[in-house]
Amino acid sequence: MVVDGALMLAGAAYIVITGLLFVFGANLLVLSILVWRRGARPGRPDAQPDVDPPVPLDLPTVTVQLPIYNELYVAQRVIEAACALDYPRDRLQIQVLDDSTDETVELVATAVGVARRNGVDIVHLHRRNRSGYKAGALRAGLEVATGELVALFDADFVPPPDFLTRTVGHFADPDLAFVQARWGHLNRGFSTITRLQSLAIDGHFLVEQAARGLGGYWFNFNGTAGIWRAAAITDAGGWTADTLTEDLDLSYRATLRGWHGVYKADLVVPGEIPAHISGFRRQQHRWARGSLECARKLLPTIWRSGARTAIKFQATTHLLSYTIHLLLAALVAVYPAVVLAGSRFPGLTTLYGVGYAFGVTSFAPAIFLISSQRQLRADWWRELPRIAAVAVLGSGLMINTVRATIQIATRPDPAFERTAKFGLDAVDHDRGPRRRSSPALWSADRYHLDLDWIVAVEVLVGGYAIGAAALAATQGNWGVLVFATMFGLGLLSIAGLSMLQAVSQVRGRGRGAGAGVNVDPSNSDLSSAMPPP
């Protein structure tokens, strides 16, 4: 009797879980259709760029903030790019917000000195106390910023020279808080991992962000490659460090205060994608935790606001998007009981059919990614195998997100762990600039992460999912067989790639790779990168 009750409870949980997944999947389809109907093609060679607003005659003053923490391989690159921005020097201030604890401090100081001798208004603000982490650095910089507008670029991004001239005109709208550009990819073609990540990022920017803008829904500043009105930051309460996604938090607080943003899909700022699976995992952990922290903090206020119900719903699905991984983990957990319940109670088969109908939206992520690639390239169909791989690998992050969720309760004040970058530049079809490549540095020990203990859990849960698939095969439950196999492969793939990376690092240490770091500031091309006065 107890067993029968447990099986029935598992069946009910299955219906609830698949119903919630249906909501998220259906919403992805809605966003994809909205962009598809527009026919936007911002990345295609035949695309016509959006018309930029005229550059104001009385140019606003701009402060460019470059938050940096132990970025030995990319700090000089972003400083050079900031100094090359096409904007009058008497209207431009550059702040290098440096919280580094390694040789990056000396490298930045040298690069800033070179730029200052070339007439650039640039300051090196080095904090010895990382209070508030990135949010704290941005807040400290804002206190001494001279600009009416504040542009932000993380250390691994390379803004194009015309970034400011293409964005400042938008601020003629007095209610505009920020302009967000699209992320490009400096190292899309570096490896299979970077190619798959680029597809996911393209989906976010070319479908999610674009559709929210088209539909009049709220969307967020992405932490870099954007420009803010300083007054909007202050009015919204400033940068705060009570979540790990200070950018998402500030965006929604500003929107709740009546400000709004502009998203420019045709303005691309290339950045470097994590080339390590461990770096990618850490980045996803931070984004998952931060998004859920923002949901807990902001959703009550959002639902009490006077916004339309559709806007509140979209904000909810946005802030809770990482709960998809939690739902997938729960689905894997109940699969064996679902299979056994279907065998013991044949009448449940009809009820489970509803769950399979919900499963139709499992194709939503693929359609979502296809929609983005359709905008970027005419031969988008060539990406279909990688799109399938993104779906499999994406499901493998479910345990990573479960850990992030648990830590919200168990570790209320975590350290902000940035994702290290290695200066791995390459030209891709986003036409990002080709700069210094550093294969020797890539093999170095510096900034590499050790094998995460969570890999063992992923292997166990992945094996459990494959076992559930085998059980489903014996009972003829083909729906569970397909999805349990996909989830199991995703978990085992993430774990396997992590272990392969760890082995590669050990071999690199054995060969003595990365014994030293050669950075010669005298070779800087800052002097040739300076814009005319």
CA-to-CA dists, residue 259 to 93, 190, 250, 256, 404, angstroms: 25, 39, 11, 7, 31
Query: Which tokens go with 236?
Result: 């919204």
Element (H, E) at 219: none
Kindly report the length of the chain.
Answer: 533
Which candidate in 98, 99, 202, 452 is catalytic? 99
Cα 283–chain centre separation: 7
Q: Which of the 8 DSSP states describes residue 448?
A: P
Distant-in-sequence, close-in-space partners of 9: CB < 8 Å, separation ≥ 6: none
Question: Taking CA 472 as the corner, what is the angle to CA 467 and CA 476, rounded to the nearest 5 degrees?
Answer: 155
* One-letter-per-residue 3-state SS of 487-511: HHHHHHHHHHHHHHHHHHHHHHHHC
CA distance 333 to 354: 19
Are the C-beta atoms of residues 485 and 396 closer than 8 Å to each other? Answer: no
Three-state SS letters, 104-156: HHHHHHHHHHHHHHCCCCEEEEECCCCCCHHHHHHHHHHHCCCCCEEEECCCC
Parallel, antiparallel, or unpaired: how do β-strands 260-271 and 176-185 relate?
Answer: parallel
Say if CB 164 and CB 77 are below 8 A apart: no
Instruction: List the structure tokens of 283.
Output: 């980045």
Read off the tokens for 490. Answer: 């995703």
Could you give the CA distance from residue 458 to residue 454 in angstroms, rounded to a whole number?
A: 6
Q: How far apart are CA 256 and CA 250, in angstroms?
A: 10
Kindly report the number of other CB atoms within 10 A of residue 301's CB atom.
Answer: 11
**Active-site position among 156, 247, 428, 452:** 247
Identify whether 247 is a catalytic site residue: yes
For residue 300, count other CB atoms closer than 10 A to its CB. Answer: 10
Return all residues near 336 (Cβ < 8 A) that are at least 6 apart. 467, 468, 471
List the catalytic residues.
99, 247
